[in-house]
Amino acid sequence: MNQTEMISDYNEIRFPKLGWEFHIDPTAFTIGGVRIQWYGIIIALGLALAVLYCFPRMKRFGIDSDRAVDAVLGGVIGGIIGARLYFVLTSWEDFKKDSFKDTFLAVINTRNGGLAIYGGIIGALVVGLIICKIRKLKLLPMLDIFGIGLLIGQGVGRWGNFVNQEAFGTNTDFVLGMTGGRIQHFINDNMQIGGSMYENGLEMMWEKPVHPCFFYESVWCLLGFVLLAFWSKRRKYDGQLILMYMTWYGAERFVVEGLRTDSLMVGSIRISQLVSAVIFIVSVILQIVIGFKVKRDPESFVLYASTEESRLFIEESRRKNMGMKGVDAYYSDEDDEIGILDDEEDDETEDETDEAADELPADEKKEED
């Protein structure tokens, strides 16, 4: 392995075997004495990219994007709260202070990280699905597009860990091995008696590079996004994409979590690794079972986007956006201008009319003319 000297600058990041060096201050800028962290900016960027990609494509899933706005906003808020609560509850001793005020301030201070992805997913699902129920949005199509958005957000958001020099792995001689001022000092401090690494039985050396776990997960999530985006046009049933997400992310997180040095633990068990294993196994079993059912009876698995209900909701939303009010905003069977009927049906109707006309006697045709 490459040995490195102790880096005095906490903001310096190095990739020794690649010869790369970066100097990144976790604080992007300050407004009125409040420090704005790169971590938060990068998380927000990942969220924005996910929204920009998913919203224009909701119609493909039969979802009215206007109705989905509330569910997305609620999911974002629920995700942030869930991610923080999950992290705090599994690391309570690190947040418990002498007074309630100090404890509360420590709990809500997320500028330097401290968000657990599984807590975020749980929080987003709970709040988002409740709002879906209220807004009469179909859950499985929403979960499908939610899975695609998650991969974008996770793939981009992991770079916040890079800036903070966190979520790194064990020592390695891999060509992508990294180190930095914060990494080295963290290892040195926590390998002392009583430190978290020492207590968890890890054998770490601050002199050695470590696995860039943030990078592994970022690349894996972005590859998963490409896969799910490609398959979204070929999906066989609603819910297939979210199951694919669970399998894809569960497999990666199980492996990478085994490399990390900051895992949330219950005894000797890595919580995220256990959750990942369960998610992976359950999702694979469900895909196999549902796959057999789809082959046997494909007509029972009609995509929601192909249903009349979906088309009606989307058309009503379009009319309202055009300024139509009252009964004009709603679909009527006698209305031919809203595009509910397929073009094929319209063509068939025209063909039948032409055939009937051809069968009329010549004198009747002339009379009609």
Yes or no: say if 241 and 232 are a contact pair by the CB < 8 Å rule. yes
Q: Which of 204, 132, 211 lies closest to 173 in space, CA to CA?
A: 211
* Residues sharing a CB contact under 8 Å with residue 135, sequence separation 6 or more, in sequence order: 67, 68, 70, 71
Report the alpha-carbon distance of residue 106 to residue 109 in Å, rounded: 5
Indicate if the pLDDT at residue 362 is higher than 70.
no
**What is the residue whose two structure tokens read 């992007």?**
28
Tokens of 49: 């990219």
Whole-angstrom distance, CA of residue 125 vs CA of residue 132: 10
Query: Which of the four pLDDT bands, split at 50, 70 and 90, describes residue 4?
Result: low
Tokens for 151? 């991969």
Asked whether the predicted pLDDT for residue 216 surpasses 80, the reply is yes
| pLDDT of 341 | 40
Tokens 């073009």 -> residue: 343
- For the cut 70, the answer to whether the pLDDT of residue 360 exceeds it is no
Instruction: Convert the chain into a string of H (helix), E (strand) and C (coil).
Output: CCCCCCCCCCCEEEECCCCEEEECCCEEEEECCEEEEHHHHHHHHHHHHHHHHHHHHHHHHCCCHHHHHHHHHHHHHHHHHHHHHHHHHCCHHHHCCCCHHHHHHHHHCCCCCCCCHHHHHHHHHHHHHHHHHHCCCCHHHHHHHHHHHHHHHHHHHCHHHHHHCCCCECECCCCCCEEEHHHHHHHHHHCCCCCHHHHCCCCCCCCCCECCHHHHHHHHHHHHHHHHHHHCCCCCCCCHHHHHHHHHHHHHHHHHHCCECCCCEECCEEHHHHHHHHHHHHHHHHHHHHHHHHHHCHHHCCCHHHCHHHHHHHHHHHHHHCCCCHHHHCCCCCCCCCCCCCHHHHHHHHHHHHHHHHCCCHHHHHHHC
Tens-place pLDDT, residues 105-158: 888 887 666 778 888 889 999 999 999 999 989 999 999 999 999 999 999 999
Amino acid in the structure at residue 131: I
Give percent above pLDDT 90 in the chain: 62
Closest to 147 measured CA to CA, from 137, 155, 159 = 155
Cα–Cα distance for residue pair 165/14, rounded to 1 Å: 11
pLDDT computed for residue 343 by the predictor:
45
Rounded Cα distance between 251 and 256, Å, is: 9
Q: Which residues contact 113 (CB under 8 A, 6 or more apart)?
A: 39, 160, 161, 164, 166
Do the beta carbons of residue 217 and residue 169 sit within 8 Å? no
Domain ranges of the chain: 12-63+138-299, 307-338, 343-369
Task: Give the number of C-alpha atoms closer than 13 A to the C-alpha of residue 315, restricted to the C-beta side.
Answer: 19
Residue 83: pLDDT band (50, 70, 90) is confident
Task: State the helix-helix crossing angle for 139-157 and 38-54, rounded to 10 degrees.
Answer: 140
Q: How far apart are CA 27 and CA 115, in angstroms?
A: 18
- The whole-number pLDDT of residue 363 equals 53
Q: Copy the structure tokens of residue 344.
A: 């094929």
C-alpha 260/C-alpha 200 separation (Å) is: 12
pLDDT for res 294: 95
pLDDT > 70? residue 328:
no
Residue 215 to residue 1: CA distance in whole angstroms? 20
